[in-house]
Chain A
Amino acid sequence: MRRCLEIAWKDLRAEFRTKQMLNSMLLFALLIVTIFSFAFGPYPERIEKLAPGVLWVAFTFAGMLGLSRSFTSEKEQGCLDGLKLCPVDRSAIYIGKVVSNLILVSIMEVVTIPVFVVLFDYSIPNLGEICLIIMPGTLGFVFVGTLLSALTVNTRTREILLPVILFPVLVPVIVSAVSATTKVLSGRLNILAELRILGTYDAIFFIVALLIFEYAIED
Protein backbone atom coordinates (compact mmCIF):
# COMPACT_ATOMS: atom_id res chain seq x y z
CA MET A 1 0.00 0.00 0.00
CA ARG A 2 2.89 2.34 0.78
CA ARG A 3 4.15 2.03 -2.77
CA CYS A 4 0.66 2.71 -4.16
CA LEU A 5 0.68 5.97 -2.20
CA GLU A 6 4.18 6.77 -3.51
CA ILE A 7 2.85 6.52 -7.08
CA ALA A 8 -0.11 8.75 -6.19
CA TRP A 9 2.14 11.26 -4.41
CA LYS A 10 4.53 11.36 -7.38
CA ASP A 11 1.59 12.11 -9.71
CA LEU A 12 0.13 14.77 -7.44
CA ARG A 13 3.48 16.45 -6.83
CA ALA A 14 4.09 16.75 -10.59
CA GLU A 15 0.48 17.85 -11.19
CA PHE A 16 0.42 20.54 -8.49
CA ARG A 17 3.68 21.87 -9.92
CA THR A 18 2.29 22.33 -13.45
CA LYS A 19 -1.48 22.26 -12.75
CA GLN A 20 -2.00 21.28 -16.39
CA MET A 21 -4.61 18.62 -15.72
CA LEU A 22 -6.31 20.34 -12.78
CA ASN A 23 -6.66 23.68 -14.58
CA SER A 24 -8.11 21.96 -17.66
CA MET A 25 -10.63 20.01 -15.59
CA LEU A 26 -11.67 23.04 -13.54
CA LEU A 27 -11.99 25.31 -16.54
CA PHE A 28 -14.02 22.75 -18.48
CA ALA A 29 -16.36 22.06 -15.53
CA LEU A 30 -16.90 25.79 -15.00
CA LEU A 31 -17.59 26.28 -18.71
CA ILE A 32 -20.19 23.52 -18.71
CA VAL A 33 -21.99 24.97 -15.68
CA THR A 34 -21.81 28.49 -17.16
CA ILE A 35 -23.18 27.38 -20.54
CA PHE A 36 -26.07 25.57 -18.85
CA SER A 37 -26.79 28.63 -16.70
CA PHE A 38 -27.07 30.75 -19.84
CA ALA A 39 -29.16 28.10 -21.60
CA PHE A 40 -31.67 27.67 -18.78
CA GLY A 41 -31.59 31.23 -17.39
CA PRO A 42 -30.84 32.23 -13.79
CA TYR A 43 -34.13 31.02 -12.25
CA PRO A 44 -35.19 27.93 -14.16
CA GLU A 45 -38.41 26.22 -13.09
CA ARG A 46 -38.05 22.78 -11.60
CA ILE A 47 -34.33 23.31 -11.01
CA GLU A 48 -34.24 20.15 -8.92
CA LYS A 49 -34.89 18.30 -12.19
CA LEU A 50 -32.12 20.13 -14.06
CA ALA A 51 -29.43 20.29 -11.39
CA PRO A 52 -28.52 16.56 -11.30
CA GLY A 53 -28.00 16.43 -15.06
CA VAL A 54 -25.95 19.63 -15.12
CA LEU A 55 -23.76 18.54 -12.20
CA TRP A 56 -23.10 15.01 -13.44
CA VAL A 57 -22.42 16.15 -17.00
CA ALA A 58 -19.87 18.61 -15.58
CA PHE A 59 -18.31 15.99 -13.28
CA THR A 60 -17.98 13.26 -15.89
CA PHE A 61 -16.98 15.35 -18.92
CA ALA A 62 -14.42 17.40 -16.98
CA GLY A 63 -13.20 14.32 -15.09
CA MET A 64 -12.64 12.60 -18.41
CA LEU A 65 -9.92 15.13 -19.27
CA GLY A 66 -8.01 14.17 -16.14
CA LEU A 67 -8.43 10.44 -16.61
CA SER A 68 -7.26 10.56 -20.20
CA ARG A 69 -4.01 12.28 -19.14
CA SER A 70 -3.36 9.83 -16.32
CA PHE A 71 -1.43 7.28 -18.38
CA THR A 72 -0.88 9.42 -21.47
CA SER A 73 1.50 11.72 -19.59
CA GLU A 74 3.49 8.66 -18.41
CA LYS A 75 3.64 7.40 -21.99
CA GLU A 76 4.63 10.77 -23.46
CA GLN A 77 7.47 11.21 -20.98
CA GLY A 78 8.64 7.65 -21.65
CA CYS A 79 8.06 6.74 -18.01
CA LEU A 80 5.41 4.04 -18.39
CA ASP A 81 8.06 1.35 -18.88
CA GLY A 82 10.02 2.76 -15.93
CA LEU A 83 6.93 2.38 -13.77
CA LYS A 84 6.34 -1.15 -15.06
CA LEU A 85 9.97 -2.03 -14.28
CA CYS A 86 9.45 -1.28 -10.57
CA PRO A 87 9.32 -4.44 -8.46
CA VAL A 88 5.67 -4.09 -7.51
CA ASP A 89 2.55 -5.92 -8.48
CA ARG A 90 0.85 -4.24 -11.45
CA SER A 91 -2.24 -3.72 -9.27
CA ALA A 92 -0.18 -1.32 -7.10
CA ILE A 93 0.20 0.93 -10.17
CA TYR A 94 -3.57 0.81 -10.70
CA ILE A 95 -4.37 1.67 -7.08
CA GLY A 96 -1.80 4.50 -7.08
CA LYS A 97 -3.35 5.97 -10.21
CA VAL A 98 -6.86 5.58 -8.77
CA VAL A 99 -5.84 7.51 -5.63
CA SER A 100 -4.31 10.41 -7.58
CA ASN A 101 -7.22 10.56 -10.05
CA LEU A 102 -9.73 10.42 -7.20
CA ILE A 103 -8.09 13.38 -5.46
CA LEU A 104 -7.96 15.49 -8.64
CA VAL A 105 -11.55 14.69 -9.67
CA SER A 106 -12.76 15.39 -6.11
CA ILE A 107 -11.06 18.81 -6.13
CA MET A 108 -12.83 19.58 -9.41
CA GLU A 109 -16.19 18.54 -7.92
CA VAL A 110 -15.66 20.55 -4.74
CA VAL A 111 -15.00 23.69 -6.82
CA THR A 112 -17.83 23.04 -9.29
CA ILE A 113 -20.66 22.75 -6.73
CA PRO A 114 -20.32 26.30 -5.26
CA VAL A 115 -20.03 27.73 -8.77
CA PHE A 116 -23.27 25.93 -9.69
CA VAL A 117 -24.94 27.31 -6.55
CA VAL A 118 -23.90 30.87 -7.43
CA LEU A 119 -24.72 30.76 -11.15
CA PHE A 120 -28.15 29.14 -10.67
CA ASP A 121 -28.83 31.09 -7.46
CA TYR A 122 -29.90 27.81 -5.91
CA SER A 123 -29.25 26.60 -2.42
CA ILE A 124 -28.68 22.83 -2.51
CA PRO A 125 -30.77 21.09 0.17
CA ASN A 126 -29.60 17.91 1.94
CA LEU A 127 -25.94 18.50 1.07
CA GLY A 128 -24.87 15.53 3.23
CA GLU A 129 -27.00 13.14 1.19
CA ILE A 130 -25.71 14.69 -2.04
CA CYS A 131 -22.14 13.97 -0.90
CA LEU A 132 -23.24 10.41 -0.06
CA ILE A 133 -24.20 10.00 -3.73
CA ILE A 134 -21.23 11.84 -5.22
CA MET A 135 -18.69 9.68 -3.34
CA PRO A 136 -19.65 6.24 -4.74
CA GLY A 137 -20.50 7.81 -8.11
CA THR A 138 -17.05 9.35 -8.36
CA LEU A 139 -15.41 6.13 -7.18
CA GLY A 140 -17.12 4.12 -9.93
CA PHE A 141 -16.17 6.75 -12.51
CA VAL A 142 -12.52 6.72 -11.43
CA PHE A 143 -12.26 2.91 -11.08
CA VAL A 144 -13.49 2.32 -14.62
CA GLY A 145 -11.88 5.43 -16.12
CA THR A 146 -8.44 4.58 -14.77
CA LEU A 147 -8.66 1.02 -16.11
CA LEU A 148 -9.81 2.12 -19.55
CA SER A 149 -7.23 4.91 -19.63
CA ALA A 150 -4.53 2.24 -19.21
CA LEU A 151 -6.21 0.04 -21.81
CA THR A 152 -6.25 2.80 -24.44
CA VAL A 153 -2.84 4.33 -23.72
CA ASN A 154 -1.06 2.27 -26.37
CA THR A 155 -3.53 3.19 -29.11
CA ARG A 156 -2.98 6.07 -31.51
CA THR A 157 -6.50 7.47 -31.05
CA ARG A 158 -6.52 7.18 -27.25
CA GLU A 159 -7.95 10.69 -26.63
CA ILE A 160 -11.00 9.85 -28.77
CA LEU A 161 -11.26 6.19 -27.87
CA LEU A 162 -11.46 6.68 -24.09
CA PRO A 163 -14.76 8.60 -23.96
CA VAL A 164 -16.25 6.36 -26.65
CA ILE A 165 -15.69 3.21 -24.60
CA LEU A 166 -15.98 4.77 -21.13
CA PHE A 167 -19.45 6.34 -21.29
CA PRO A 168 -21.34 3.17 -22.28
CA VAL A 169 -19.70 1.34 -19.37
CA LEU A 170 -20.57 4.24 -17.06
CA VAL A 171 -24.31 4.19 -17.82
CA PRO A 172 -25.28 2.40 -14.56
CA VAL A 173 -23.27 4.94 -12.53
CA ILE A 174 -24.68 7.99 -14.30
CA VAL A 175 -28.30 6.74 -14.28
CA SER A 176 -28.16 5.79 -10.58
CA ALA A 177 -26.33 8.94 -9.52
CA VAL A 178 -28.63 11.28 -11.45
CA SER A 179 -31.73 9.45 -10.19
CA ALA A 180 -30.54 9.60 -6.57
CA THR A 181 -29.52 13.26 -6.85
CA THR A 182 -32.94 14.14 -8.32
CA LYS A 183 -34.68 12.41 -5.43
CA VAL A 184 -32.57 14.16 -2.78
CA LEU A 185 -33.04 17.60 -4.35
CA SER A 186 -36.82 16.93 -4.42
CA GLY A 187 -36.72 16.19 -0.70
CA ARG A 188 -37.15 12.42 -1.07
CA LEU A 189 -34.41 10.60 0.81
CA ASN A 190 -35.23 6.98 -0.17
CA ILE A 191 -32.04 6.51 -2.21
CA LEU A 192 -30.98 3.15 -0.81
CA ALA A 193 -31.67 1.31 -4.09
CA GLU A 194 -29.41 3.70 -6.06
CA LEU A 195 -26.68 3.53 -3.41
CA ARG A 196 -26.82 -0.27 -3.58
CA ILE A 197 -26.39 -0.19 -7.34
CA LEU A 198 -23.47 2.26 -7.05
CA GLY A 199 -21.82 0.21 -4.27
CA THR A 200 -22.19 -3.05 -6.20
CA TYR A 201 -20.89 -1.43 -9.40
CA ASP A 202 -17.87 -0.01 -7.55
CA ALA A 203 -17.06 -3.34 -5.89
CA ILE A 204 -17.37 -5.32 -9.12
CA PHE A 205 -15.31 -2.95 -11.23
CA PHE A 206 -12.61 -2.49 -8.59
CA ILE A 207 -12.12 -6.25 -8.34
CA VAL A 208 -12.29 -6.74 -12.12
CA ALA A 209 -9.77 -3.91 -12.63
CA LEU A 210 -7.33 -5.44 -10.12
CA LEU A 211 -7.58 -8.77 -11.93
CA ILE A 212 -7.15 -7.53 -15.49
CA PHE A 213 -4.96 -4.43 -15.07
CA GLU A 214 -1.80 -6.44 -15.73
CA TYR A 215 -3.12 -7.31 -19.19
CA ALA A 216 -4.58 -3.84 -19.79
CA ILE A 217 -1.19 -2.20 -19.37
CA GLU A 218 0.72 -4.68 -21.58
CA ASP A 219 2.45 -3.28 -24.67
Chain B
Amino acid sequence: MISINGLSKVFGNNVALREINLEVKKGEFIALFGPNGAGKTTLIKIMSTLIAPTSGAVVIDGYNIRDDAIEVRERIGVISHETYLYEDLSARENLQFYGKMYEVDNLEERISNVISEVGLSPRAEDLVRTFSRGMKQRLSIARAILHDPPILLLDEPYTGLDPHAVATFDRILKVLDISNKTVVMTTHMISRGIKMSDRMAILRSGEIAYDVPRVQIQDEEYFKSIYESYVGEEL
Protein backbone atom coordinates (compact mmCIF):
# COMPACT_ATOMS: atom_id res chain seq x y z
CA MET B 1 0.00 0.00 0.00
CA ILE B 2 2.85 2.37 0.91
CA SER B 3 6.30 1.71 -0.46
CA ILE B 4 9.25 3.96 0.38
CA ASN B 5 12.61 3.24 -1.24
CA GLY B 6 15.88 5.07 -0.64
CA LEU B 7 14.08 8.23 0.45
CA SER B 8 16.31 11.17 1.38
CA LYS B 9 15.56 14.81 2.08
CA VAL B 10 18.14 17.53 2.51
CA PHE B 11 17.39 21.10 3.63
CA GLY B 12 20.50 23.16 2.87
CA ASN B 13 23.25 21.47 4.90
CA ASN B 14 20.80 19.60 7.11
CA VAL B 15 19.99 16.01 6.18
CA ALA B 16 16.43 15.41 7.43
CA LEU B 17 15.96 11.89 6.02
CA ARG B 18 18.66 9.39 4.98
CA GLU B 19 17.92 6.51 2.63
CA ILE B 20 14.62 5.53 4.29
CA ASN B 21 13.15 2.20 3.23
CA LEU B 22 9.69 1.32 4.54
CA GLU B 23 6.84 -0.91 3.40
CA VAL B 24 3.38 -0.55 4.94
CA LYS B 25 0.84 -3.21 4.02
CA LYS B 26 -2.82 -2.57 3.35
CA GLY B 27 -4.75 -2.24 6.62
CA GLU B 28 -1.59 -1.96 8.69
CA PHE B 29 -1.22 0.68 11.43
CA ILE B 30 2.37 1.79 12.01
CA ALA B 31 3.36 4.14 14.83
CA LEU B 32 6.57 6.12 14.31
CA PHE B 33 8.42 7.45 17.35
CA GLY B 34 11.46 9.64 17.51
CA PRO B 35 12.93 12.74 19.13
CA ASN B 36 12.28 16.24 17.79
CA GLY B 37 14.19 16.75 14.56
CA ALA B 38 14.34 13.03 13.76
CA GLY B 39 12.44 13.61 10.50
CA LYS B 40 8.96 12.35 11.42
CA THR B 41 7.06 15.38 10.13
CA THR B 42 9.29 15.61 7.04
CA LEU B 43 8.45 11.97 6.25
CA ILE B 44 4.70 12.61 6.60
CA LYS B 45 4.94 15.80 4.53
CA ILE B 46 6.74 13.96 1.73
CA MET B 47 4.20 11.10 1.81
CA SER B 48 1.37 13.63 1.61
CA THR B 49 3.01 15.43 -1.38
CA LEU B 50 3.50 18.67 0.57
CA ILE B 51 7.25 18.66 0.02
CA ALA B 52 9.33 16.96 -2.64
CA PRO B 53 12.00 14.43 -1.72
CA THR B 54 15.64 15.09 -2.61
CA SER B 55 16.05 11.49 -3.81
CA GLY B 56 14.29 8.15 -3.61
CA ALA B 57 10.76 7.03 -4.40
CA VAL B 58 7.47 6.92 -2.53
CA VAL B 59 4.63 4.92 -4.05
CA ILE B 60 1.20 5.10 -2.41
CA ASP B 61 -1.54 2.74 -3.55
CA GLY B 62 0.33 2.30 -6.83
CA TYR B 63 0.87 6.02 -7.45
CA ASN B 64 4.22 7.78 -7.32
CA ILE B 65 4.15 11.00 -5.29
CA ARG B 66 6.28 12.82 -7.87
CA ASP B 67 4.32 11.98 -11.01
CA ASP B 68 0.82 11.27 -9.67
CA ALA B 69 0.49 13.77 -6.83
CA ILE B 70 -3.22 14.43 -7.43
CA GLU B 71 -4.07 10.70 -7.39
CA VAL B 72 -2.06 10.31 -4.17
CA ARG B 73 -3.91 13.23 -2.53
CA GLU B 74 -7.25 11.65 -3.43
CA ARG B 75 -6.24 8.54 -1.49
CA ILE B 76 -4.90 10.07 1.70
CA GLY B 77 -6.41 11.83 4.69
CA VAL B 78 -4.04 13.88 6.83
CA ILE B 79 -4.56 14.74 10.47
CA SER B 80 -1.89 16.99 11.91
CA HIS B 81 -1.44 19.22 14.93
CA GLU B 82 -2.53 21.94 12.48
CA THR B 83 -6.23 21.42 11.86
CA TYR B 84 -6.45 22.93 8.34
CA LEU B 85 -9.76 24.54 9.35
CA TYR B 86 -10.93 28.05 8.48
CA GLU B 87 -11.75 29.93 11.67
CA ASP B 88 -14.26 32.28 10.01
CA LEU B 89 -16.32 29.47 8.48
CA SER B 90 -18.68 27.19 10.36
CA ALA B 91 -17.93 23.50 10.85
CA ARG B 92 -20.38 22.63 8.07
CA GLU B 93 -18.98 25.29 5.70
CA ASN B 94 -15.45 23.96 6.24
CA LEU B 95 -16.57 20.44 5.37
CA GLN B 96 -18.59 21.72 2.40
CA PHE B 97 -15.48 23.43 1.05
CA TYR B 98 -13.21 20.40 1.46
CA GLY B 99 -15.94 18.05 0.23
CA LYS B 100 -16.30 20.04 -2.98
CA MET B 101 -12.54 20.11 -3.45
CA TYR B 102 -12.50 16.29 -3.14
CA GLU B 103 -15.70 15.99 -5.24
CA VAL B 104 -17.42 13.86 -2.58
CA ASP B 105 -20.66 12.25 -3.75
CA ASN B 106 -23.87 12.99 -1.78
CA LEU B 107 -21.89 15.63 0.08
CA GLU B 108 -24.58 16.95 2.45
CA GLU B 109 -25.48 13.45 3.62
CA ARG B 110 -21.82 12.55 4.05
CA ILE B 111 -21.17 15.77 6.02
CA SER B 112 -24.10 15.03 8.36
CA ASN B 113 -22.71 11.51 8.93
CA VAL B 114 -19.12 12.53 9.69
CA ILE B 115 -20.14 15.46 11.88
CA SER B 116 -22.36 13.10 13.83
CA GLU B 117 -19.54 10.52 14.08
CA VAL B 118 -17.21 13.06 15.67
CA GLY B 119 -19.98 14.28 17.98
CA LEU B 120 -20.24 17.82 16.66
CA SER B 121 -23.79 17.81 15.24
CA PRO B 122 -25.07 20.39 17.76
CA ARG B 123 -22.22 22.77 16.81
CA ALA B 124 -22.28 22.20 13.03
CA GLU B 125 -23.43 25.74 12.23
CA ASP B 126 -21.06 27.47 14.68
CA LEU B 127 -17.91 29.24 13.54
CA VAL B 128 -14.75 27.19 14.09
CA ARG B 129 -13.18 30.13 15.95
CA THR B 130 -15.62 29.43 18.81
CA PHE B 131 -14.42 25.79 19.16
CA SER B 132 -12.03 24.45 21.79
CA ARG B 133 -8.76 22.81 20.67
CA GLY B 134 -10.25 19.36 21.23
CA MET B 135 -13.35 20.18 19.17
CA LYS B 136 -11.21 21.54 16.34
CA GLN B 137 -9.19 18.33 16.33
CA ARG B 138 -12.41 16.27 16.20
CA LEU B 139 -13.59 18.36 13.26
CA SER B 140 -10.17 17.84 11.73
CA ILE B 141 -10.82 14.08 11.83
CA ALA B 142 -14.14 14.67 10.05
CA ARG B 143 -12.30 16.71 7.40
CA ALA B 144 -9.67 14.01 6.91
CA ILE B 145 -12.14 11.12 6.50
CA LEU B 146 -14.77 13.07 4.54
CA HIS B 147 -13.66 11.58 1.21
CA ASP B 148 -13.24 8.13 2.80
CA PRO B 149 -9.52 7.77 2.01
CA PRO B 150 -7.95 4.30 2.29
CA ILE B 151 -4.81 5.80 3.87
CA LEU B 152 -4.57 8.02 6.95
CA LEU B 153 -1.42 9.96 7.82
CA LEU B 154 -1.48 11.20 11.41
CA ASP B 155 1.27 13.67 12.31
CA GLU B 156 1.42 14.22 16.08
CA PRO B 157 -2.40 14.24 16.27
CA TYR B 158 -2.41 14.46 20.07
CA THR B 159 -0.33 17.66 20.29
CA GLY B 160 -2.09 20.30 22.39
CA LEU B 161 -4.92 18.00 23.49
CA ASP B 162 -5.77 17.58 27.17
CA PRO B 163 -6.23 14.01 28.53
CA HIS B 164 -10.00 14.18 28.05
CA ALA B 165 -9.61 15.30 24.44
CA VAL B 166 -7.03 12.53 23.85
CA ALA B 167 -9.51 9.94 25.13
CA THR B 168 -12.26 11.42 22.94
CA PHE B 169 -9.91 11.39 19.93
CA ASP B 170 -9.13 7.69 20.51
CA ARG B 171 -12.81 6.84 20.97
CA ILE B 172 -13.68 8.55 17.68
CA LEU B 173 -10.95 6.67 15.82
CA LYS B 174 -12.33 3.45 17.29
CA VAL B 175 -15.93 4.30 16.38
CA LEU B 176 -14.85 5.15 12.84
CA ASP B 177 -13.45 1.63 12.52
CA ILE B 178 -10.16 2.49 10.89
CA SER B 179 -9.20 -1.21 10.92
CA ASN B 180 -9.62 -1.36 7.14
CA LYS B 181 -7.45 1.72 6.61
CA THR B 182 -3.70 1.91 6.30
CA VAL B 183 -2.41 4.29 8.94
CA VAL B 184 0.96 5.93 9.54
CA MET B 185 1.08 7.87 12.81
CA THR B 186 3.91 9.87 14.32
CA THR B 187 3.62 10.50 18.04
CA HIS B 188 5.48 10.97 21.30
CA MET B 189 2.80 9.08 23.24
CA ILE B 190 3.86 5.43 23.71
CA SER B 191 0.54 4.52 25.31
CA ARG B 192 -1.36 5.55 22.15
CA GLY B 193 1.09 3.78 19.86
CA ILE B 194 0.92 0.52 21.83
CA LYS B 195 -2.85 0.68 22.06
CA MET B 196 -3.56 1.35 18.41
CA SER B 197 -0.73 0.15 16.17
CA ASP B 198 0.26 -3.14 14.54
CA ARG B 199 3.86 -2.03 14.14
CA MET B 200 6.15 0.30 16.05
CA ALA B 201 9.23 2.00 14.65
CA ILE B 202 11.80 4.48 15.85
CA LEU B 203 13.17 7.21 13.63
CA ARG B 204 16.59 8.53 14.67
CA SER B 205 18.54 11.25 12.83
CA GLY B 206 16.57 10.66 9.64
CA GLU B 207 16.93 6.86 9.66
CA ILE B 208 14.63 4.01 10.67
CA ALA B 209 16.63 2.66 13.61
CA TYR B 210 14.09 0.12 14.88
CA ASP B 211 10.98 -1.46 13.36
CA VAL B 212 9.10 -4.42 14.89
CA PRO B 213 5.56 -5.83 14.98
CA ARG B 214 3.54 -4.54 17.93
CA VAL B 215 3.17 -8.09 19.36
CA GLN B 216 6.89 -8.12 20.12
CA ILE B 217 6.49 -5.16 22.47
CA GLN B 218 5.55 -6.46 25.90
CA ASP B 219 4.52 -3.19 27.52
CA GLU B 220 5.20 0.54 27.73
CA GLU B 221 8.24 0.17 29.98
CA TYR B 222 9.82 -2.33 27.61
CA PHE B 223 9.41 0.00 24.64
CA LYS B 224 10.68 2.96 26.69
CA SER B 225 13.90 1.09 27.45
CA ILE B 226 14.32 0.20 23.77
CA TYR B 227 13.67 3.82 22.80
CA GLU B 228 16.25 5.07 25.28
CA SER B 229 18.86 2.62 24.07
CA TYR B 230 18.35 3.66 20.43
CA VAL B 231 17.82 7.39 20.85
CA GLY B 232 19.87 8.04 23.98
CA GLU B 233 17.18 10.07 25.68
CA GLU B 234 13.87 9.48 27.43
CA LEU B 235 10.63 9.55 25.48
Min CB–CB distance B136 → chain A (angstroms):
10
A residues in contact with B87, CB < 8 Å: 77
User: Is B50 touching A219 in the complex (CB atoms < 8 A)?
Assistant: yes
A: number of interface residues (CB 8 Å): 23
Asked whether A79 lies within 8 Å of B85 as measured between CB atoms, the reply is: yes
What chain B residues lie within 8 Å of A13 (beta carbons)? 89, 93
Docked-complex contact B82 and A78, CB < 8 angstroms: yes
**A87 and B73 contacting across the interface, CB-CB below 8 Å:** yes
Against B, the Cβ 8 Å flags (1 = close, 0 = not) of A73-100 are 0000111011111111100000000000
Q: Are A81 and B50 in contact (CB under 8 A)?
A: yes
Residues of A within 8 Å of B101, CB to CB, are: 3, 6-7, 86-88
With the chains together, A218 CA to B76 CA distance in Å? 19
Q: B78 → chain A, closest Cβ, in Å?
A: 6
Evaluate contact between B88 and A14: CB separation under 8 angstroms. yes
A150 to chain B, nearest CB (A): 15
Give the number of A-B contacts (CB < 8 Å): 66
Residue numbers in A under 8 Å from B212 (CB-CB): none
* B196 → A minimal CB distance (Å): 23
Contact B73 A79 (CB under 8 A): no
Q: Are B50 and A14 touching (Cβ within 8 A)?
A: no
Q: Which residues of B contact A85 (CB under 8 A)?
A: 48-50, 73, 76, 78, 84
Q: Which residue of chain B has the shortest Cβ distance to A88 in the bound complex?
A: B101
Contact B70 A18 (CB under 8 A): no
Determine the chain A residues whose CB is within 8 A of the CB of B100 once the complex forms: 2-3, 6
User: Do B88 and A78 touch across chains, with their CB atoms under 8 A apart?
Assistant: no
**Chain B positions within 8 Å of A18 at CB level:** 88
Interface residues of A in 84-140 (CB under 8 A from B): 84-89
Interface string of A6-19 (1 = CB under 8 A from B): 11001001100110
- Taking a contact as CB atoms closer than 8 A, the residue among A81, A87, A89 that contacts B82 in the complex is A81
Contact B89–A87 (Cβ < 8 Å): no
Residue numbers in A under 8 Å from B78 (CB-CB): 81, 85
Q: Are B80 and A81 in contact (CB under 8 A)?
A: yes
Closest Cβ neighbor of A96 among chain B residues = B101
CB of B9, distance to nearest CB on chain A (Å): 11
User: Do A10 and B89 form a contact, CB below 8 Å, given A78-B82, A81-B50, A85-B50?
Assistant: yes
Q: Do A78 and B83 form a contact, CB below 8 Å, given A3-B101, A6-B100, A13-B93?
A: yes
Task: Determine if B84 and A78 form an interchain contact, defined as CB atoms under 8 angstroms apart.
Answer: yes
When C-beta atoms are compared, the residue in chain B nearest to A76 turns out to be B87
Contact call B83/A87, Cβ cutoff below 8 A: no
A3-B101, A87-B70, A87-B74 in contact; A219/B51 too (CB < 8 A)? Answer: yes
| A82 close to B70 (CB less than 8 A) | no
Which residues of B sit under 8 angstroms from A7, Cβ to Cβ?
Answer: 101
Contacts of A79 in B (CB 8 A): 84-86
Whether B131 is near chain A, meaning CB under 8 Å from some CB there, is no
List the B side residues contacting A219 at CB < 8 Å: 45, 50-51
**B70, A84: Cβ atoms closer than 8 Å:** no
- Distance of A211 Cα from B190 Cα, bound (Å): 45
B235 interface hit (Cβ, 8 Å)? no
- A10-B86, A77-B87, A78-B82 known; A87 and B50 CB under 8 Å? no
- Is B223 among interface residues, defined by CB-CB distance under 8 A? no
B83 and A86 form a contact (CB under 8 A): no
- Interface flag for B210 (CB, 8 Å): no
Query: B89 to chain A: which residues have CB within 8 Å?
Result: 10, 13-14, 17
CB proximity of B20 to chain A, nearest CB, Å: 19
Contacts of A6 in B (CB 8 A): 97, 100-101
Interface presence of B102 (CB below 8 A): yes
B binding-site residues for A, Cβ under 8 Å: 45, 48-52, 70-71, 73-74, 76, 78, 80, 82-89, 93, 97-98, 100-102, 143
Give A residues with C-beta under 8 Å from B: 2-3, 6-7, 10, 13-14, 17-18, 77-79, 81-89, 218-219
Q: List 12 additional A-B contacts (Cβ < 8 Å) besides A10-B89, A81-B84, A87-B70.
A: A3-B100, A10-B86, A13-B89, A13-B93, A18-B88, A77-B86, A79-B86, A85-B49, A87-B74, A87-B101, A88-B101, A219-B51
- List 15 A-B pairs, Cβ < 8 Å: A3-B100, A6-B101, A77-B87, A78-B83, A82-B84, A82-B85, A85-B49, A85-B73, A85-B76, A85-B78, A87-B70, A87-B73, A87-B102, A89-B70, A219-B45
